A and B are shown apart, each in its own frame.
Chain A
Amino acid sequence: MDTKYIIGAIVIIVVIIGVALYAGGAFTKPEGKITIVGSTSVQPVAEKLAEAYHNANPDVNITVQGGGSSVGLKSVQDGTAQIGTYSSKLSSDKAPGIEQYVIANDGICIIVNKDSNVTDLTADQVKEIFAGNDSSYTVVTREEGSGTRDAFIDLIMGGKNGTNITKSAIVQSSTDAVKQAVAGNPNAIGFMSLADVDDSVKVVKIDGVEPSEATVKDGSYKIQRPFLFLTKGAATGVTLEFINWCLSSEGQKIVQEEGAVPV
Chain B
Amino acid sequence: MARNWEEFLVEKVLLLAAISSIIIILLIIGFVIQQGLPAMEQVGPLNFIFGMDWSPSYDIYGVFPMIVGSLGMMALALIFAVPLSIFGAIFLAEVAPKTMRRILKPTIQTLAGIPSVIYGFFGLIVLVPFMRIHFGGSGFSMLTASIILTVMVLPTILSISEDALRSIPLEYKEASLALGATHWQTIKNVIFPAALPGIVTGIILGMGRAIGETMAVIMVAGNTPIIPGSILEPARALTSNIALEMGYALGLHYNALFATGIVLLMMIIVLLVVTNYINYKRKVTVGGGYL
Contacts and interface: CB of A to CB of B under 8 A. Distances in A.
Interface in A57-94: 66-68, 70-71
A177 B219 contact: yes
A46 interface: no
Nearest to B243: A173
A138 B249 CA distance: 27
Interface string B218-238: 110011111000000010100
Contacts of B19: 6
B248 A67 contact: yes
A188 B138 contact: yes
B87 to A, nearest CB: 33
B245 interface: yes
A91 B150 CA distance: 52
Interface in A170-227: 170-173, 177, 180-181, 184-185, 187-188
A170 B57 contact: no
B140 A143 contact: no
Contact of A6 (B16, B125, B248): B16
A160 B124 CA distance: 31
Contacts of A184: 124-125, 128-129, 132, 139
B79 interface: no
Contacts of B250: 67-68, 70-71
B102 interface: no
Nearest to A138: B138
Contact of A169 (B55, B125, B224, B244): B224
B248 A66 contact: yes
Nearest to B253: A145
A15 to B, nearest CB: 15
A167 B226 contact: yes
Given A2-B12, A144-B56, A185-B129, A40 B247 contact: yes
Contact of B245 (A2, A138, A145, A170): A145
Contact of A171 (B12, B55, B125, B223): B223
Contacts of A35: none
B15 interface: yes
B23 interface: yes
16 contacts: A6-B16, A66-B247, A143-B244, A144-B245, A145-B247, A145-B248, A167-B225, A167-B226, A170-B140, A170-B223, A171-B244, A180-B124, A181-B140, A184-B125, A185-B132, A185-B138
Chain A to chain B: the 9 pairs with minimum beta-carbon distance, closest first: A145-B248, A171-B223, A143-B244, A138-B138, A170-B222, A184-B129, A144-B56, A170-B140, A167-B226
Interface of B: 12, 15-16, 19, 23, 55-57, 124-125, 128-129, 132, 138-140, 218-219, 222-226, 234, 236, 243-245, 247-250, 253
Interface of A: 2-3, 5-6, 10, 40, 66-68, 70-71, 138, 143-146, 160, 164, 167-173, 177, 180-181, 184-185, 187-188
